[in-house]
């Protein structure tokens, strides 16, 4: 007997941020993606589903609080799709505290795969929910800024924002 899986309903909306427009995508009402403009690995827009801000109220509320410097940890249900290894990397990203960084090597060590820093970097780059799953907090072994799907300028600005106690270049960052 064949079992049919009901189709996934996707919705999306675009919100403004201090880092440019953010496209939020939900699958059956649960956040599954946050994309920046010109982001590497951004899928075609036709895969985002229908425009509908309805499922994103809490996501937008928490992003607003984050950019205002009032929220340091997101508490949102996420529907992340990737390989088991990618999902394990993304779970480790969620453990990196606000305002701190880790190296790719440190994440590989945490995963029990000390020689897998390059694979960690590739999985980090495929993170579908930037900012909320804080892939921007991962740096090179020397502390240098390396690769970021949203662009190195955004990575640098996000890290400066988080280390500046809620300001971005000395100015309160608001939606």
DSSP-H helix ranges across the chain: 57-67, 84-93, 104-110, 117-125, 152-163
Question: Catalytic site residue 135?
Answer: yes
Q: For residue 82, give the DSSP letter.
A: S
The two three-digit tokens of residue 156, written as one number: 């640098």
- Catalytic residue (choose from 133, 135, 159, 173): 135
Helix, strand or coil, per DSSP, at residue 33: strand
**What is d(CA 39, CA 35) in angstroms, rounded to the nearest whole number?**
7
What values do phi and psi take at 136, rounded to 5?
-70, -15
Instruction: Give the chain's count of helices (H) and strands (E).
Output: 5, 8
Which residues have a catalytic role annotated? 135
């Amino acid at each position: 007997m064949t079992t049919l899986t009901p189709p996934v309903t996707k919705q999306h909306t675009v919100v403004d941020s201090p880092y440019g427009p953010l496209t939020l995508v939900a699958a059956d009402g649960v956040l599954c993606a946050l994309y920046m403009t010109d982001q590497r690995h951004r899928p075609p827009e036709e895969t985002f589903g229908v425009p509908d801000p309805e499922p994103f109220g809490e996501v937008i509320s928490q992003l607003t609080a984050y950019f205002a410097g009032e929220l340091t940890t997101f508490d949102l249900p996420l529907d992340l799709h990737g390989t088991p290894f990618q999902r394990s990397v993304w779970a480790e990203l969620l453990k990196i505290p606000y305002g701190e960084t880790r190296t790719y090597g440190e994440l590989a060590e945490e995963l029990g795969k000390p020689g897998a820093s390059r694979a960690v970097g590739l999985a980090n780059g495929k993170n579908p929910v930037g900012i909320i799953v804080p892939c921007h907090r991962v740096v090179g072994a020397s502390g240098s800024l390396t690769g970021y799907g949203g662009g190195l300028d955004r990575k640098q600005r996000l890290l400066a924002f988080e280390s500046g106690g809620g300001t971005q270049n000395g100015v309160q960052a608001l939606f």
